[in-house]
Structure 1
Amino acid sequence: MCTERKLTRLDRVFARLDREPERPAHIDVPRMTPHRIVLLAATLAFYGAIVWAVVITSWLVRLDWQVMFFRPYQQWAEIHAFVDYYVVLGQRGPTAVMVAAWLGWRSWRQHTLRPLLALGVSLLLLNITVGAAKLGMGRLGPHYATTIGSNEMGLGGDIFPSGHTANAVVTWGILAYLASTPRARRWLSALSAVTSLGVGLSTVYLGTHWLSDVLLGWAAGLLIMLALPWFEPLIARSESLIFDLRDRLRERRAGAVSVPTATPVGAPVLLKPRATPADDEVAAREATSAPRSPRAPVYLAPGPHTTRAERTPVTPVGSRRPPHTDRTTRGAAPAARPLAGG
Protein backbone atom coordinates (compact mmCIF):
# COMPACT_ATOMS: atom_id res chain seq x y z
CA MET A 1 0.00 0.00 0.00
CA CYS A 2 1.38 3.41 -0.93
CA THR A 3 0.88 6.19 1.58
CA GLU A 4 0.51 9.80 0.50
CA ARG A 5 3.68 11.85 1.04
CA LYS A 6 3.25 15.15 2.84
CA LEU A 7 3.99 18.00 0.44
CA THR A 8 6.71 20.41 1.42
CA ARG A 9 6.75 24.14 0.73
CA LEU A 10 9.03 23.62 -2.27
CA ASP A 11 6.68 20.98 -3.70
CA ARG A 12 3.77 23.40 -3.44
CA VAL A 13 5.76 26.10 -5.21
CA PHE A 14 6.63 23.77 -8.10
CA ALA A 15 3.03 22.54 -8.24
CA ARG A 16 1.94 26.14 -8.60
CA LEU A 17 4.46 26.67 -11.38
CA ASP A 18 3.20 23.58 -13.23
CA ARG A 19 -0.37 24.81 -13.53
CA GLU A 20 0.26 26.93 -16.60
CA PRO A 21 3.01 27.22 -19.22
CA GLU A 22 6.32 28.28 -17.75
CA ARG A 23 6.62 31.38 -19.93
CA PRO A 24 3.39 33.25 -20.71
CA ALA A 25 2.95 34.40 -24.28
CA HIS A 26 2.29 38.07 -23.41
CA ILE A 27 5.74 38.57 -21.80
CA ASP A 28 8.43 39.47 -24.34
CA VAL A 29 12.11 38.85 -23.72
CA PRO A 30 14.42 41.79 -24.55
CA ARG A 31 16.74 41.18 -27.48
CA MET A 32 20.01 42.71 -28.61
CA THR A 33 18.56 45.18 -31.07
CA PRO A 34 20.75 47.64 -33.02
CA HIS A 35 19.52 50.44 -30.78
CA ARG A 36 20.67 48.57 -27.68
CA ILE A 37 24.03 47.76 -29.25
CA VAL A 38 24.60 51.47 -30.02
CA LEU A 39 23.77 52.39 -26.41
CA LEU A 40 26.10 49.66 -25.16
CA ALA A 41 28.97 50.96 -27.30
CA ALA A 42 28.35 54.57 -26.20
CA THR A 43 28.27 53.58 -22.52
CA LEU A 44 31.45 51.57 -22.93
CA ALA A 45 33.15 54.60 -24.52
CA PHE A 46 31.94 56.78 -21.63
CA TYR A 47 33.33 54.21 -19.16
CA GLY A 48 36.73 54.28 -20.83
CA ALA A 49 36.75 58.09 -20.96
CA ILE A 50 36.10 58.38 -17.22
CA VAL A 51 38.89 55.93 -16.41
CA TRP A 52 41.31 57.72 -18.73
CA ALA A 53 40.43 61.14 -17.29
CA VAL A 54 41.19 59.91 -13.77
CA VAL A 55 44.39 58.11 -14.76
CA ILE A 56 45.91 61.21 -16.39
CA THR A 57 44.77 63.43 -13.47
CA SER A 58 42.68 65.67 -15.68
CA TRP A 59 40.12 68.33 -14.81
CA LEU A 60 37.83 65.60 -13.48
CA VAL A 61 40.24 64.83 -10.65
CA ARG A 62 40.48 68.55 -9.80
CA LEU A 63 36.68 68.66 -9.70
CA ASP A 64 36.72 65.69 -7.31
CA TRP A 65 38.99 67.59 -4.91
CA GLN A 66 36.91 70.76 -5.13
CA VAL A 67 33.74 68.90 -4.23
CA MET A 68 35.53 67.14 -1.37
CA PHE A 69 36.80 70.46 0.07
CA PHE A 70 33.31 71.93 -0.29
CA ARG A 71 32.11 69.37 2.29
CA PRO A 72 28.42 69.09 1.33
CA TYR A 73 27.56 67.30 4.58
CA GLN A 74 28.46 70.52 6.41
CA GLN A 75 26.85 72.92 3.92
CA TRP A 76 23.47 71.15 4.06
CA ALA A 77 23.54 69.53 7.46
CA GLU A 78 19.73 69.57 7.78
CA ILE A 79 19.32 66.76 5.23
CA HIS A 80 22.02 64.54 6.71
CA ALA A 81 19.55 62.22 8.48
CA PHE A 82 17.48 61.74 5.31
CA VAL A 83 20.55 61.00 3.18
CA ASP A 84 21.74 58.40 5.70
CA TYR A 85 18.51 56.46 5.10
CA TYR A 86 18.32 57.14 1.38
CA VAL A 87 21.77 55.74 0.68
CA VAL A 88 20.53 52.32 1.89
CA LEU A 89 18.79 52.02 -1.51
CA GLY A 90 22.23 51.33 -2.95
CA GLN A 91 23.46 48.78 -0.42
CA ARG A 92 23.62 45.31 -1.89
CA GLY A 93 22.10 43.31 0.95
CA PRO A 94 18.86 45.23 1.68
CA THR A 95 18.12 46.02 -1.97
CA ALA A 96 18.75 42.44 -3.10
CA VAL A 97 16.32 41.13 -0.46
CA MET A 98 13.59 43.61 -1.39
CA VAL A 99 13.90 43.07 -5.13
CA ALA A 100 14.17 39.28 -4.74
CA ALA A 101 10.93 39.26 -2.71
CA TRP A 102 9.12 41.20 -5.45
CA LEU A 103 10.53 39.03 -8.24
CA GLY A 104 9.69 35.88 -6.28
CA TRP A 105 6.07 36.99 -6.24
CA ARG A 106 6.34 37.72 -9.98
CA SER A 107 7.67 34.21 -10.55
CA TRP A 108 4.71 32.82 -8.62
CA ARG A 109 2.19 34.79 -10.65
CA GLN A 110 3.80 34.26 -14.05
CA HIS A 111 4.67 30.59 -13.40
CA THR A 112 8.32 30.95 -14.43
CA LEU A 113 11.71 31.18 -12.77
CA ARG A 114 13.05 33.73 -15.25
CA PRO A 115 12.72 36.83 -12.98
CA LEU A 116 14.76 35.29 -10.17
CA LEU A 117 17.33 33.84 -12.56
CA ALA A 118 17.73 37.19 -14.32
CA LEU A 119 18.34 38.87 -10.96
CA GLY A 120 20.93 36.23 -10.04
CA VAL A 121 22.80 36.59 -13.34
CA SER A 122 22.83 40.40 -13.12
CA LEU A 123 24.14 40.39 -9.53
CA LEU A 124 26.80 37.86 -10.49
CA LEU A 125 27.95 40.04 -13.37
CA LEU A 126 27.93 43.05 -11.05
CA ASN A 127 30.15 41.37 -8.47
CA ILE A 128 32.61 40.14 -11.09
CA THR A 129 32.99 43.30 -13.19
CA VAL A 130 32.78 45.98 -10.51
CA GLY A 131 34.82 43.96 -8.03
CA ALA A 132 37.57 43.38 -10.57
CA ALA A 133 37.66 47.07 -11.48
CA LYS A 134 37.85 48.13 -7.83
CA LEU A 135 40.74 45.81 -7.06
CA GLY A 136 42.51 46.50 -10.34
CA MET A 137 42.57 50.29 -10.04
CA GLY A 138 42.98 50.46 -6.26
CA ARG A 139 41.86 54.05 -5.77
CA LEU A 140 41.58 55.51 -2.28
CA GLY A 141 38.46 57.36 -1.14
CA PRO A 142 38.20 60.99 0.02
CA HIS A 143 38.56 60.09 3.70
CA TYR A 144 41.82 58.22 3.04
CA ALA A 145 43.42 60.54 0.45
CA THR A 146 47.15 61.12 0.93
CA THR A 147 48.19 63.83 -1.58
CA ILE A 148 46.08 66.83 -2.50
CA GLY A 149 45.38 66.98 -6.24
CA SER A 150 46.46 63.39 -6.99
CA ASN A 151 44.22 60.72 -8.47
CA GLU A 152 44.98 58.31 -5.58
CA MET A 153 45.17 55.37 -8.01
CA GLY A 154 47.02 52.13 -7.34
CA LEU A 155 47.24 52.65 -3.57
CA GLY A 156 45.26 49.56 -2.52
CA GLY A 157 41.81 51.16 -2.24
CA ASP A 158 38.49 49.76 -3.45
CA ILE A 159 36.44 52.87 -4.15
CA PHE A 160 36.53 53.25 -7.95
CA PRO A 161 33.89 52.70 -9.37
CA SER A 162 31.13 53.32 -6.82
CA GLY A 163 29.58 50.01 -5.79
CA HIS A 164 26.52 51.75 -4.31
CA THR A 165 25.73 53.44 -7.62
CA ALA A 166 26.30 50.35 -9.76
CA ASN A 167 24.26 48.22 -7.40
CA ALA A 168 21.37 50.71 -7.49
CA VAL A 169 21.42 50.70 -11.31
CA VAL A 170 21.29 46.89 -11.47
CA THR A 171 18.86 46.07 -8.66
CA TRP A 172 16.32 48.72 -9.57
CA GLY A 173 16.98 48.49 -13.29
CA ILE A 174 16.14 44.78 -13.32
CA LEU A 175 12.55 45.73 -12.50
CA ALA A 176 12.41 47.80 -15.69
CA TYR A 177 14.14 45.05 -17.65
CA LEU A 178 11.47 42.50 -16.59
CA ALA A 179 8.50 44.84 -17.10
CA SER A 180 5.53 43.33 -18.94
CA THR A 181 4.67 46.31 -21.17
CA PRO A 182 6.83 48.87 -23.04
CA ARG A 183 5.20 51.75 -21.17
CA ALA A 184 5.99 50.24 -17.78
CA ARG A 185 9.54 49.56 -18.96
CA ARG A 186 10.07 53.21 -19.91
CA TRP A 187 8.74 54.53 -16.61
CA LEU A 188 10.69 52.06 -14.54
CA SER A 189 13.87 52.77 -16.51
CA ALA A 190 13.60 56.49 -15.77
CA LEU A 191 12.82 55.80 -12.12
CA SER A 192 15.79 53.46 -11.71
CA ALA A 193 18.13 55.98 -13.38
CA VAL A 194 17.02 58.79 -11.05
CA THR A 195 17.24 56.51 -8.00
CA SER A 196 20.74 55.30 -8.85
CA LEU A 197 22.04 58.83 -9.53
CA GLY A 198 20.48 59.97 -6.27
CA VAL A 199 22.24 57.17 -4.41
CA GLY A 200 25.55 58.13 -6.02
CA LEU A 201 25.18 61.79 -5.12
CA SER A 202 24.31 60.76 -1.58
CA THR A 203 27.68 59.04 -1.28
CA VAL A 204 29.36 62.22 -2.55
CA TYR A 205 27.40 64.24 0.01
CA LEU A 206 28.56 61.93 2.80
CA GLY A 207 32.17 62.11 1.59
CA THR A 208 32.59 58.37 0.97
CA HIS A 209 33.07 58.64 -2.83
CA TRP A 210 34.57 60.95 -5.39
CA LEU A 211 32.27 62.39 -8.03
CA SER A 212 34.11 60.43 -10.72
CA ASP A 213 33.44 57.23 -8.74
CA VAL A 214 29.71 57.85 -9.07
CA LEU A 215 29.91 58.50 -12.83
CA LEU A 216 31.90 55.31 -13.40
CA GLY A 217 29.59 53.27 -11.16
CA TRP A 218 26.56 54.48 -13.08
CA ALA A 219 28.22 53.48 -16.37
CA ALA A 220 29.25 50.07 -14.96
CA GLY A 221 25.70 49.24 -13.90
CA LEU A 222 24.26 50.43 -17.20
CA LEU A 223 26.67 48.21 -19.13
CA ILE A 224 25.35 45.16 -17.26
CA MET A 225 21.73 46.04 -17.96
CA LEU A 226 22.41 46.66 -21.66
CA ALA A 227 24.35 43.39 -22.07
CA LEU A 228 21.84 41.24 -20.15
CA PRO A 229 19.90 40.06 -23.29
CA TRP A 230 23.03 38.17 -24.37
CA PHE A 231 22.55 35.97 -21.30
CA GLU A 232 18.89 35.14 -21.98
CA PRO A 233 19.74 31.76 -23.61
CA LEU A 234 21.76 30.86 -20.50
CA ILE A 235 18.81 31.84 -18.30
CA ALA A 236 16.44 29.70 -20.39
CA ARG A 237 18.76 26.67 -20.23
CA SER A 238 19.19 27.09 -16.47
CA GLU A 239 15.43 27.19 -16.00
CA SER A 240 15.01 24.03 -18.07
CA LEU A 241 17.73 22.22 -16.11
CA ILE A 242 16.13 23.18 -12.79
CA PHE A 243 12.74 21.81 -13.85
CA ASP A 244 14.34 18.62 -15.23
CA LEU A 245 16.16 18.11 -11.93
CA ARG A 246 12.89 18.67 -10.09
CA ASP A 247 11.16 16.01 -12.19
CA ARG A 248 13.91 13.45 -11.55
CA LEU A 249 13.77 14.08 -7.81
CA ARG A 250 10.00 13.63 -7.85
CA GLU A 251 10.29 10.31 -9.68
CA ARG A 252 12.93 9.10 -7.22
CA ARG A 253 10.79 10.08 -4.24
CA ALA A 254 7.70 8.45 -5.72
CA GLY A 255 9.58 5.15 -6.10
CA ALA A 256 10.79 5.19 -2.50
CA VAL A 257 7.48 6.02 -0.81
CA SER A 258 5.92 2.49 -1.11
CA VAL A 259 5.57 0.91 2.38
CA PRO A 260 3.88 -2.33 3.64
CA THR A 261 0.43 -2.26 5.17
CA ALA A 262 0.51 -1.77 8.91
CA THR A 263 -2.16 -2.09 11.58
CA PRO A 264 -3.70 1.30 12.18
CA VAL A 265 -2.80 2.85 15.46
CA GLY A 266 -5.62 2.96 17.96
CA ALA A 267 -7.64 0.06 16.50
CA PRO A 268 -10.05 -1.47 19.05
CA VAL A 269 -8.94 -4.79 20.58
CA LEU A 270 -11.63 -7.29 21.58
CA LEU A 271 -10.99 -8.99 24.93
CA LYS A 272 -12.67 -12.24 26.07
CA PRO A 273 -14.39 -12.22 29.45
CA ARG A 274 -12.68 -14.26 32.18
CA ALA A 275 -14.11 -17.84 32.31
CA THR A 276 -15.68 -19.11 35.54
CA PRO A 277 -15.38 -22.74 36.85
CA ALA A 278 -18.95 -23.40 35.69
CA ASP A 279 -18.08 -22.33 32.18
CA ASP A 280 -15.03 -24.64 32.21
CA GLU A 281 -17.19 -27.66 33.17
CA VAL A 282 -19.71 -26.90 30.40
CA ALA A 283 -16.94 -26.57 27.84
CA ALA A 284 -15.33 -29.88 28.91
CA ARG A 285 -18.70 -31.70 28.75
CA GLU A 286 -19.39 -30.39 25.25
CA ALA A 287 -15.91 -31.40 24.11
CA THR A 288 -16.32 -35.04 25.28
CA SER A 289 -19.84 -35.43 23.94
CA ALA A 290 -19.22 -33.96 20.50
CA PRO A 291 -17.84 -36.51 17.99
CA ARG A 292 -14.46 -35.62 16.59
CA SER A 293 -14.10 -35.39 12.86
CA PRO A 294 -11.33 -37.55 11.44
CA ARG A 295 -8.22 -35.55 10.56
CA ALA A 296 -5.63 -36.62 8.08
CA PRO A 297 -2.03 -36.79 9.27
CA VAL A 298 -0.13 -33.63 8.67
CA TYR A 299 2.77 -35.34 6.96
CA LEU A 300 0.65 -36.88 4.20
CA ALA A 301 0.41 -35.24 0.82
CA PRO A 302 -2.98 -33.85 -0.14
CA GLY A 303 -5.34 -36.29 -1.79
CA PRO A 304 -7.47 -39.35 -0.92
CA HIS A 305 -5.86 -41.74 1.61
CA THR A 306 -6.92 -45.18 2.91
CA THR A 307 -6.72 -46.45 6.45
CA ARG A 308 -4.06 -48.95 7.56
CA ALA A 309 -6.63 -51.84 7.73
CA GLU A 310 -7.65 -51.36 4.11
CA ARG A 311 -4.08 -51.45 2.77
CA THR A 312 -2.65 -54.67 1.20
CA PRO A 313 0.27 -56.00 3.24
CA VAL A 314 3.55 -56.12 1.40
CA THR A 315 5.94 -58.94 2.34
CA PRO A 316 9.54 -58.61 1.24
CA VAL A 317 10.82 -61.42 -0.97
CA GLY A 318 13.90 -63.38 0.18
CA SER A 319 16.03 -63.02 3.23
CA ARG A 320 16.85 -59.64 4.70
CA ARG A 321 20.31 -60.82 5.82
CA PRO A 322 23.29 -60.12 3.62
CA PRO A 323 24.74 -63.18 1.85
CA HIS A 324 27.79 -64.96 3.42
CA THR A 325 29.77 -67.61 1.63
CA ASP A 326 30.88 -69.45 4.79
CA ARG A 327 27.40 -69.90 6.21
CA THR A 328 24.79 -72.51 5.37
CA THR A 329 21.13 -72.48 5.71
CA ARG A 330 19.58 -74.00 8.82
CA GLY A 331 18.78 -77.75 8.46
CA ALA A 332 21.20 -78.46 5.58
CA ALA A 333 24.08 -81.01 5.96
CA PRO A 334 27.45 -79.47 6.42
CA ALA A 335 29.93 -79.93 3.63
CA ALA A 336 32.75 -82.48 4.10
CA ARG A 337 36.01 -81.05 5.22
CA PRO A 338 39.27 -82.29 3.81
CA LEU A 339 41.48 -84.31 6.12
CA ALA A 340 44.78 -82.80 6.87
CA GLY A 341 47.90 -84.75 7.81
CA GLY A 342 49.68 -87.83 6.51
Structure 2
Amino acid sequence: MGGPTGLAPRGYRGHVRNAITERVAALRLQPVRPAGWWFDALLVGLFALLTGVLAAGGLLGLDTATHDWVVSHQTQATFWLARVFNFLGQGTPLTLISLAIALFLAVRRRNIWPILPVVAAFLITGIVIMPLKIWTERAAPGYEGPNAVDLFNSTIPAGEYDVSYPSGHLVNTVVWYGVIALLLAPWLNRTARLWLRIAPPAIVFVTTIYLDYHWLTDSVAGVLLGVFISRLIDRVPWQLPSREPQSSDR
Protein backbone atom coordinates (compact mmCIF):
# COMPACT_ATOMS: atom_id res chain seq x y z
CA MET A 1 0.00 0.00 0.00
CA GLY A 2 1.13 3.54 -0.65
CA GLY A 3 1.91 6.06 2.08
CA PRO A 4 -0.63 8.49 3.50
CA THR A 5 -2.08 10.88 0.99
CA GLY A 6 -0.25 14.24 0.78
CA LEU A 7 3.07 12.96 2.15
CA ALA A 8 6.11 13.11 -0.13
CA PRO A 9 7.99 9.86 -0.78
CA ARG A 10 10.80 9.11 1.66
CA GLY A 11 13.43 9.37 -1.08
CA TYR A 12 12.22 12.81 -2.10
CA ARG A 13 12.28 14.06 1.51
CA GLY A 14 15.83 12.78 1.87
CA HIS A 15 16.86 14.57 -1.32
CA VAL A 16 15.38 17.83 -0.02
CA ARG A 17 17.18 17.43 3.32
CA ASN A 18 20.47 16.83 1.53
CA ALA A 19 19.95 19.87 -0.68
CA ILE A 20 19.21 22.07 2.34
CA THR A 21 22.27 20.70 4.18
CA GLU A 22 24.50 21.43 1.19
CA ARG A 23 23.10 24.94 0.86
CA VAL A 24 23.66 25.69 4.56
CA ALA A 25 27.21 24.30 4.36
CA ALA A 26 27.91 26.51 1.34
CA LEU A 27 26.90 29.59 3.35
CA ARG A 28 29.28 28.93 6.23
CA LEU A 29 32.17 31.31 6.73
CA GLN A 30 35.32 30.14 4.99
CA PRO A 31 38.44 29.27 6.99
CA VAL A 32 41.36 31.70 7.09
CA ARG A 33 44.89 31.43 8.44
CA PRO A 34 45.59 32.02 11.26
CA ALA A 35 42.17 30.63 12.17
CA GLY A 36 39.73 32.38 14.47
CA TRP A 37 38.87 36.00 15.11
CA TRP A 38 41.67 36.59 17.62
CA PHE A 39 44.08 37.55 14.84
CA ASP A 40 41.60 40.05 13.39
CA ALA A 41 41.19 41.60 16.84
CA LEU A 42 44.98 41.75 17.12
CA LEU A 43 45.27 43.58 13.78
CA VAL A 44 42.65 46.15 14.78
CA GLY A 45 44.22 46.51 18.22
CA LEU A 46 47.69 47.08 16.77
CA PHE A 47 46.33 49.64 14.34
CA ALA A 48 44.57 51.49 17.15
CA LEU A 49 47.67 51.26 19.36
CA LEU A 50 49.94 52.56 16.58
CA THR A 51 47.57 55.45 15.91
CA GLY A 52 47.41 56.31 19.60
CA VAL A 53 51.20 56.16 20.03
CA LEU A 54 51.72 58.42 17.00
CA ALA A 55 49.08 60.87 18.23
CA ALA A 56 50.91 61.02 21.56
CA GLY A 57 54.20 61.81 19.83
CA GLY A 58 55.74 58.35 19.90
CA LEU A 59 57.68 56.83 16.98
CA LEU A 60 57.82 60.20 15.22
CA GLY A 61 61.59 60.14 15.55
CA LEU A 62 61.68 56.80 13.76
CA ASP A 63 59.59 58.21 10.92
CA THR A 64 61.83 61.26 10.65
CA ALA A 65 65.04 59.22 10.75
CA THR A 66 63.72 56.90 8.02
CA HIS A 67 62.75 59.89 5.89
CA ASP A 68 66.19 61.49 6.32
CA TRP A 69 67.97 58.24 5.41
CA VAL A 70 65.83 57.75 2.31
CA VAL A 71 66.41 61.27 1.05
CA SER A 72 70.17 60.96 1.50
CA HIS A 73 70.41 57.54 -0.19
CA GLN A 74 68.36 58.07 -3.34
CA THR A 75 70.04 57.92 -6.73
CA GLN A 76 68.43 58.54 -10.08
CA ALA A 77 68.70 54.86 -11.04
CA THR A 78 67.30 53.48 -7.79
CA PHE A 79 64.56 56.12 -7.71
CA TRP A 80 63.22 55.15 -11.12
CA LEU A 81 63.60 51.43 -10.41
CA ALA A 82 61.60 51.85 -7.21
CA ARG A 83 59.01 53.93 -9.01
CA VAL A 84 58.46 51.20 -11.61
CA PHE A 85 57.98 48.52 -8.94
CA ASN A 86 55.73 50.84 -6.95
CA PHE A 87 53.15 50.66 -9.74
CA LEU A 88 52.33 47.20 -8.36
CA GLY A 89 50.31 49.05 -5.73
CA GLN A 90 48.19 51.33 -7.91
CA GLY A 91 44.57 50.92 -6.88
CA THR A 92 42.85 51.67 -10.21
CA PRO A 93 44.81 49.15 -12.36
CA LEU A 94 44.42 46.50 -9.65
CA THR A 95 40.68 47.12 -9.53
CA LEU A 96 40.39 46.82 -13.31
CA ILE A 97 42.49 43.64 -13.42
CA SER A 98 40.38 42.09 -10.66
CA LEU A 99 37.19 43.10 -12.44
CA ALA A 100 38.41 41.63 -15.75
CA ILE A 101 39.17 38.27 -14.07
CA ALA A 102 35.81 38.35 -12.29
CA LEU A 103 33.90 39.10 -15.49
CA PHE A 104 35.66 36.22 -17.26
CA LEU A 105 34.68 33.85 -14.47
CA ALA A 106 31.14 35.23 -14.32
CA VAL A 107 30.61 34.65 -18.05
CA ARG A 108 32.19 31.22 -17.84
CA ARG A 109 30.07 30.15 -14.86
CA ARG A 110 26.97 32.11 -15.89
CA ASN A 111 26.49 33.75 -12.48
CA ILE A 112 27.51 36.96 -10.76
CA TRP A 113 29.28 35.45 -7.74
CA PRO A 114 32.83 36.15 -9.01
CA ILE A 115 32.02 39.86 -9.35
CA LEU A 116 30.85 40.23 -5.74
CA PRO A 117 34.25 40.06 -3.97
CA VAL A 118 35.52 42.76 -6.36
CA VAL A 119 32.57 44.98 -5.48
CA ALA A 120 33.07 44.26 -1.78
CA ALA A 121 36.77 45.15 -1.92
CA PHE A 122 36.05 48.37 -3.81
CA LEU A 123 33.36 49.47 -1.35
CA ILE A 124 35.19 48.51 1.85
CA THR A 125 38.48 50.14 0.87
CA GLY A 126 36.66 53.28 -0.23
CA ILE A 127 34.58 53.49 2.93
CA VAL A 128 37.45 52.75 5.33
CA ILE A 129 40.58 54.38 3.91
CA MET A 130 39.60 57.96 3.08
CA PRO A 131 37.69 58.74 6.30
CA LEU A 132 40.70 57.58 8.32
CA LYS A 133 43.03 59.70 6.19
CA ILE A 134 40.86 62.79 6.59
CA TRP A 135 40.45 62.20 10.32
CA THR A 136 44.17 61.76 11.09
CA GLU A 137 45.33 64.82 9.09
CA ARG A 138 48.90 63.79 8.43
CA ALA A 139 51.12 65.44 5.84
CA ALA A 140 53.32 63.51 3.43
CA PRO A 141 57.08 63.33 4.12
CA GLY A 142 57.72 65.99 1.47
CA TYR A 143 55.71 68.63 3.33
CA GLU A 144 58.01 71.45 4.46
CA GLY A 145 55.67 73.13 6.92
CA PRO A 146 55.74 72.82 10.71
CA ASN A 147 55.04 69.53 12.50
CA ALA A 148 55.05 67.65 9.20
CA VAL A 149 55.31 64.22 10.84
CA ASP A 150 52.50 64.78 13.36
CA LEU A 151 49.06 63.22 13.27
CA PHE A 152 46.05 65.52 13.70
CA ASN A 153 48.06 68.42 12.33
CA SER A 154 45.49 71.19 12.00
CA THR A 155 48.19 73.66 10.95
CA ILE A 156 48.43 72.19 7.44
CA PRO A 157 47.12 74.86 5.02
CA ALA A 158 44.04 74.16 2.96
CA GLY A 159 44.95 72.51 -0.32
CA GLU A 160 48.07 70.81 1.05
CA TYR A 161 48.23 67.02 1.07
CA ASP A 162 47.12 65.94 4.54
CA VAL A 163 45.85 62.40 4.00
CA SER A 164 49.03 60.35 4.41
CA TYR A 165 47.90 58.02 7.23
CA PRO A 166 47.30 55.16 6.69
CA SER A 167 48.97 54.38 3.36
CA GLY A 168 46.32 53.71 0.73
CA HIS A 169 49.01 52.14 -1.46
CA LEU A 170 49.54 49.39 1.10
CA VAL A 171 45.87 48.83 1.89
CA ASN A 172 45.05 48.54 -1.81
CA THR A 173 47.98 46.24 -2.51
CA VAL A 174 47.16 43.81 0.29
CA VAL A 175 43.42 43.76 -0.43
CA TRP A 176 43.49 43.60 -4.23
CA TYR A 177 46.17 40.94 -4.54
CA GLY A 178 44.17 38.96 -2.00
CA VAL A 179 41.10 39.26 -4.23
CA ILE A 180 43.12 38.24 -7.30
CA ALA A 181 44.48 35.20 -5.43
CA LEU A 182 40.91 34.32 -4.46
CA LEU A 183 39.67 34.55 -8.05
CA LEU A 184 42.63 32.64 -9.50
CA ALA A 185 42.45 29.84 -6.92
CA PRO A 186 41.41 27.20 -9.51
CA TRP A 187 44.68 27.73 -11.39
CA LEU A 188 47.14 28.45 -8.57
CA ASN A 189 48.44 26.13 -5.86
CA ARG A 190 48.77 27.24 -2.27
CA THR A 191 52.39 28.34 -2.66
CA ALA A 192 51.60 30.52 -5.68
CA ARG A 193 48.63 32.10 -3.91
CA LEU A 194 50.80 32.81 -0.86
CA TRP A 195 53.48 34.49 -2.98
CA LEU A 196 50.82 36.55 -4.75
CA ARG A 197 49.55 37.79 -1.40
CA ILE A 198 52.98 38.51 0.12
CA ALA A 199 55.44 39.56 -2.60
CA PRO A 200 53.61 42.59 -4.10
CA PRO A 201 52.79 44.16 -0.68
CA ALA A 202 56.40 43.64 0.43
CA ILE A 203 57.71 45.33 -2.73
CA VAL A 204 55.24 48.22 -2.45
CA PHE A 205 56.04 48.62 1.26
CA VAL A 206 59.74 49.10 0.55
CA THR A 207 59.35 51.25 -2.57
CA THR A 208 56.69 53.52 -1.07
CA ILE A 209 59.00 54.38 1.80
CA TYR A 210 62.08 54.64 -0.42
CA LEU A 211 60.30 57.01 -2.80
CA ASP A 212 59.37 59.13 0.22
CA TYR A 213 55.68 58.86 -0.62
CA HIS A 214 54.77 57.87 2.94
CA TRP A 215 56.19 57.79 6.44
CA LEU A 216 57.26 54.37 7.67
CA THR A 217 54.37 54.12 10.11
CA ASP A 218 51.89 55.07 7.36
CA SER A 219 52.88 51.89 5.56
CA VAL A 220 52.81 49.74 8.70
CA ALA A 221 49.28 50.98 9.41
CA GLY A 222 48.30 50.27 5.80
CA VAL A 223 49.49 46.66 6.08
CA LEU A 224 47.58 46.10 9.34
CA LEU A 225 44.39 47.54 7.90
CA GLY A 226 44.80 45.77 4.55
CA VAL A 227 45.30 42.34 6.11
CA PHE A 228 42.23 42.86 8.29
CA ILE A 229 40.05 43.79 5.30
CA SER A 230 41.48 40.97 3.21
CA ARG A 231 40.63 38.42 5.89
CA LEU A 232 37.05 39.71 6.05
CA ILE A 233 36.70 39.22 2.30
CA ASP A 234 38.30 35.77 2.43
CA ARG A 235 35.79 34.63 5.04
CA VAL A 236 32.73 35.25 2.86
CA PRO A 237 31.39 32.15 1.03
CA TRP A 238 31.50 33.66 -2.45
CA GLN A 239 30.63 30.40 -4.22
CA LEU A 240 33.75 30.67 -6.37
CA PRO A 241 35.30 27.76 -8.26
CA SER A 242 37.73 25.93 -6.01
CA ARG A 243 40.89 24.03 -6.68
CA GLU A 244 41.18 20.39 -5.69
CA PRO A 245 44.03 19.96 -3.17
CA GLN A 246 47.17 18.43 -4.65
CA SER A 247 50.30 17.14 -2.98
CA SER A 248 51.95 20.56 -3.38
CA ASP A 249 49.00 22.19 -1.57
CA ARG A 250 49.39 20.15 1.59
TM-score tier (shorter) = 0.7 to 0.9
Q: Which has the higher helix share?
A: 2
- In 1, Cα distance between the equivalents of 2:218 and 2:120? 24
Q: Tell me which residue corresponds to 1:205.
A: 210
Q: Tell me which residue corresponds to 2:111.
A: 112
How far does residue 231 in structure 1 lie from its aligned partner after superposition?
Answer: 5.4
When residues 201 and 72 of structure 1 are mapped into structure 2, their CA distance, relative to the original with a 3 A threshold, is farther
Count of aligned pairs between the two proteins: 207
TM-score by length of 1: 0.54
When residues 104 and 36 of structure 1 are mapped into structure 2, their CA distance, relative to the original with a 3 A threshold, is farther
When residues 216 and 61 of structure 1 are mapped into structure 2, their CA distance, relative to the original with a 3 A threshold, is same
**In the alignment, does 2:135 pair up with 1:130?**
no
Deviations 1:243-296 (A, max 9, x none): xxxxxxxxxxxxxxxxxxxxxxxxxxxxxxxxxxxxxxxxxxxxxxxxxxxxxx
Deviations 1:131-181 (A, max 9, x none): 110011111111115336852433351110001111111111112234546
Segments of 5+ residues of structure 2 without an aligned counterpart are: 1-22, 157-161, 240-250
Map residues 153-302 of structure 1 onto 2, 5 A cutoff: 153-155=152-154, 157-180=162-185, 184-185=189-190, 187-228=192-233, 232=237
When residues 135 and 126 of structure 1 are mapped into structure 2, their CA distance, relative to the original with a 3 A threshold, is same
Q: Tell me which residue corresponds to 1:53.
A: 53
Larger radius of gyration: 1
Task: Determine which structure has greater relative contact order: mean sequence separation of CA pairs < 8 Å that are 6+ residues apart, divided by chain length.
Answer: 2
Q: Tell me which residue corresponds to 1:254.
A: none
When residues 163 and 132 of structure 1 are mapped into structure 2, their CA distance, relative to the original with a 3 A threshold, is same
One-letter amino acid of the counterpart of residue 29, structure 2: R
Deviations 1:24-49 (A, max 9, x none): x9xx7782558141221121122112
- In 1, Cα distance between the equivalents of 2:95 and 2:72? 27
TM-score by length of 2: 0.72
Segments of 5+ residues of structure 1 without an aligned counterpart are: 1-24, 237-342
- In 2, Cα distance between the equivalents of 1:198 and 1:170? 15
- In 2, Cα distance between the equivalents of 1:123 and 1:117? 10
